[in-house]
């Protein structure tokens, strides 16, 4: 059951009762077109998990790109998809060239690796930059068409860093808030971006810039001081203010989270509990370790698999005692580097299973597809250990989902020290360096051998932390920042 005290976290309305216009790279739907008929299905992802409950509660508009051309059929399907909900979807149609060069190109071959401190993966193609600007203008056009004078425009993530400046050209008075879901790089990394001044100038056209962690907030402040010396930064701690010639910009570190009650209640359902029992019955007497990741080189999946290989090689006593389940959700399939990563993961899985499998035991169970919610929750509940080892992450909601789903307060979380969730979950997680393969192997051993009492105490702390700082608390903090900014903003 939901704790009645949770209602104290709920607020009656958006800041100043204003209408929400949420803007993200994509509408949270996947589309298929066959024989002229368009159908839509809900898509998954951390951003969707975090934002959809807020829009369902408060209503508004969700602006995002779609993978197919705008048409009456698409509009009908979007209307059907939001039927009964207090919000509606507004599509931004992109050409194939725009999709390739804005999203797969600049967003994911320049910004994504750079902001994750993996600049060796960057492709600084000037053509990407040109299309990135063009697409951000398209989003600004959609905002202009949909947002009223009193609306709150809430833009999300690295694909839309320039949107505020283009909205300002049309609506200087607009109230614009931004939240970055990935890390913000340090000045020495950000300096490698040829268009750094333009990006920073455009970011400072927002009224609020929210980031995940204090680390990101410090990096943002240091980049402003390094590359925009005319901008004065005041304040300290989790909230700073950047004062430009046009406005005061609030800079706030607000860690995002999950809907704790939704995951806990879902995991407690009978069908999920039965599925968890079935998974354990399929692995009798064995510990189950779990990795759940979107296909990406920042998630540390090959490093994790090599750590597992080292564990079975150095400690043969864990063969037959441990089954590792690795879920890889397909992502960015149009980028060659991601296909190469997928091939490497599958080669490592095949190598481990070929070297160590015995009759009745497969060391690594590999799943390469999105999972239905009940199946994912069943895996979370069944797994004795979650291994979450990104090379760097803005937050990593899988770590929080796993703990929220462990309603029996059993289970262990192994967490990379470079995950954005680490500062919050440090007291209960087992910390590891994601490049230290033997360190990860030893952490898995430690988790398996951990006394039941310690495992219980750690999980109790983890679940209490996530419960007390869940998506509602994040929302309330964001809305509080908006309230303050609205009351104190300097008119353009």
Q: What does the pLDDT average to over 205-234?
A: 96
For the chain, what is the total number of helices (H) and then of strands (E)?
Answer: 19, 17
- In this prediction, residues 244-262 reach a mean pLDDT of 94
Packing angle between helix 437-449 and helix 301-314, nearest 10 degrees?
70
Rounded to whole angstroms, how far apart are CA atoms 199 and 217? 16
Q: How far is CA 185 from CA 64, 336, 394, 456, in A?
A: 25, 25, 11, 36
Nearest-5° Cα angle at 124, 182 to 396: 15
Q: What is the pLDDT of residue 45?
A: 66
In whole angstroms, give the CA distance from residue 155 to residue 49: 16
Of the two residues 34 and 164, the one the predictor is more confident about is 164
Separation CA 45–CA 26 (nearest Å)? 11
Collapsing DSSP to helix, strand or coil, 8 comes out as: helix
Question: Of residues 269 and 77, which shows the higher confidence score?
Answer: 269
Task: Output 18 or 237, whichever has higher pLDDT.
Answer: 18
In whole angstroms, what separates CA 146 from the centre of its chain?
Answer: 26
One DSSP character per residue, 343-384 reads HHHHHHHHHHHHHH-BTTB-SEEEE-S---HHHHHHHHHH-S
Distance between CA atoms of residues 270 and 448, nearest Å: 27
SS3 452: helix
- The pLDDT of residue 388 is above 80: yes
- Residue 236 contacts residue 203 (beta carbons within 8 Å): no
Token look-up 């994750």 returns 116
* Whether the predicted pLDDT of 4 surpasses 50: no
Residue 13 confidence (pLDDT): 66
Q: What would the pLDDT profile of 141-180 be if each residue is shown by its tens digit?
A: 999 999 998 899 999 999 999 999 999 999 999 999 999 9
Q: Is the pLDDT of residue 12 over 60?
A: no
Over 60: is that where the pLDDT of 11 sits? no
- Three-class DSSP category at 142: helix
- How large is the average pLDDT for residues 216-234? 96
CA 411 to chain centre: 23
Supply 252's token pair: 């706030």
Non-local (6+) Cβ contacts of 140 within 8 A are 163, 166, 167, 169, 170
Weakest mean pLDDT among 43-57, 162-176, 397-411: 43-57
Band the pLDDT of 43: cuts 50, 70, 90: confident
Tracing tokens 């993961």 back to the chain, one arrives at 345
Say whether pLDDT at 80 is over 90: no
- Whether 230 is catalytic is no
Question: SS3 sequence, 172-214?
Answer: CCCEEEEECCCCCCCHHHHCCCCCHHHHHHHHCCCCEEEECCH
May I ask the CATH architecture of the domain 260-469? 3-Layer(aba) Sandwich (3.40)
Q: In the chain, where are the structural domains located?
A: 4-257+472-488, 260-469
- Which carries the bigger pLDDT value, residue 135 or residue 238? 135
Cα(436)–Cα(467) distance, integer angstroms: 31
Tens digits of per-residue pLDDT, 81-128? 888 888 889 999 999 999 999 999 999 999 999 999 999 999 999 999
Measured in degrees and rounded to the nearest 5, phi and psi for residue 85 equal: -95, 155
Catalytic residue among 151, 393, 406, 470: 393
pLDDT at 2: 35
Q: Which residues pair with 39 in a beta bridge?
A: 32
CB atoms within 10 A of CB 194: 12
pLDDT at 109: 95
For residue 295, the model assigns a pLDDT of 96
Rounded-to-integer distance, Cα 274 and Cα 96, Å: 44
Least confident of 7-16, 276-285, 323-332, 405-414: 7-16
Cβ neighbors of 170 (< 8 A, separation 6 or more) are: 140, 144
What is the reported pLDDT for 268? 97
Q: Give the list of residues 6+ apart from residue 90 with CB closer than 8 angstroms, or none.
A: 61, 62, 63, 64, 78, 142, 146
Please tell me the predicted confidence (pLDDT) of residue 46.
64
Q: Which of 116, 181, 287, 384 is catalytic?
A: 181
What does the pLDDT read at residue 1? 33
pLDDT tens figures, 255-314: 999 999 999 999 999 999 999 999 999 999 999 999 999 999 999 999 999 999 999 999
At residue 302's C-alpha, the angle toward residues 300 and 307, to 5°, is 95
- Is residue 181 flagged as an active site residue? yes
CB atoms within 10 A of CB 5: 7
For residue 197 the two structure tokens come to 């001044």
pTM for this predicted structure? 0.92
Average pLDDT over residues 443-452: 97
pLDDT of residue 30: 79
- Structure-token match 């150095």, residue found: 314
Please give the average per-residue pLDDT across 128-151, as a whole number. Answer: 95
Under 8 Å between Cβ of 401 and 380? yes
- β-strands 20-26, 152-156 pairing: parallel
CATH code that applies to domain 4-257+472-488? 3.40.50.2000
CA-angle at 176, arms to 171 and 180, nearest 5°: 140
What DSSP state is assigned to residue 128? H
When the pLDDT of each residue in the chain is averaged and rounded to a whole number, the result is 92
Q: What angle do CA 194, 183, 133 make, to 5 degrees?
A: 40
Token pair in block for residue 163:
């949107």
The full length of the chain comes to: 492
- Residue 315 pLDDT class (50, 70, 90 cuts): very high
């Amino acid at each position: 059951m939901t704790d009645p005290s949770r209602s104290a976290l709920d607020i009656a309305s958006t800041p100043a009762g204003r209408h929400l216009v949420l803007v993200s790279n994509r509408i949270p739907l996947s589309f298929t077109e066959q024989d002229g008929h368009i159908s839509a299905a809900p898509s998954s992802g951390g951003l969707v998990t975090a934002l959809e409950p807020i829009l369902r509660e408060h209503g508004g508009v969700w602006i995002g790109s779609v993978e197919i051309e705008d048409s009456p059929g698409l509009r009908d399907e979007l209307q059907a998809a939001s039927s009964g909900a207090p919000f509606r979807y507004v599509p931004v149609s992109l050409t194939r060239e725009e999709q390739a060069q804005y999203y797969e190109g600049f967003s994911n071959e320049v910004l994504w690796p750079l902001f994750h401190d993996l600049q060796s993966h960057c492709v600084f193609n000037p053509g990407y930059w040109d299309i990135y600007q063009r697409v951000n203008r398209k989003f600004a056009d959609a905002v202009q068409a949909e947002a009223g004078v009193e609306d709150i425009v809430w833009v999300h993530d690295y694909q839309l860093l320039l949107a505020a400046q283009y909205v300002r050209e049309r609506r200087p008075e607009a109230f614009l808030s931004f939240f970055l879901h990935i890390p913000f790089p340090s000045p020495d990394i950000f300096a490698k971006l040829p268009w750094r001044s333009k990006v920073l100038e455009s970011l400072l056209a927002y009224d609020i810039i929210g980031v995940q962690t204090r680390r990101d907030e410090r990096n943002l402040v240091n980049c402003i001081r390094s590359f925009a010396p005319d901008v004065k930064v005041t304040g300290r701690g989790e909230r700073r203010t950047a004062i430009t010639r046009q406005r005061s910009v609030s800079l706030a570190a607000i860690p995002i989270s999950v809907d704790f009650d939704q995951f806990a209640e879902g995991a407690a359902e009978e069908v999920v509990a039965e599925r968890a029992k079935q998974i354990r019955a399929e692995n009798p007497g064995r510990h189950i370790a779990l990795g759940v990741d979107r296909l990406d080189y920042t998630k540390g999946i090959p490093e994790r698999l090599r750590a597992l290989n080292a564990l079975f090689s150095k400690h043969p006593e864990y063969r037959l005692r441990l089954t590792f389940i690795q879920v890889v959700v397909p992502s960015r399939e149009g980028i060659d580097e991601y296909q190469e990563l997928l091939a490497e993961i599958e080669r490592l899985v095949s190598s481990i299973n070929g070297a160590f499998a015995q009759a009745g035991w497969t060391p690594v169970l590999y799943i390469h597809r999105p999972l239905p919610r009940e199946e994912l929750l069943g895996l979370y509940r069944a797994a004795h250990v979650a291994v979450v080892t990104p090379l760097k992450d803005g937050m990593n909601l899988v770590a929080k989902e796993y703990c929220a789903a462990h309603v029996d307060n059993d289970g262990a979380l192994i967490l990379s020290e470079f995950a954005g969730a680490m500062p919050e979950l440090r007291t209960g997680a087992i910390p590891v360096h994601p490049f230290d393969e033997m360190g990860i192997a030893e952490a898995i051993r430690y988790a398996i051998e951990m006394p039941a009492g310690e495992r219980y105490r750690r999980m109790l702390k983890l679940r209490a932390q996530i419960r007390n700082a869940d998506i509602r608390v994040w929302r309330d903090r964001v809305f509080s920042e908006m309230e303050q900014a609205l009351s104190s903003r300097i008119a353009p």
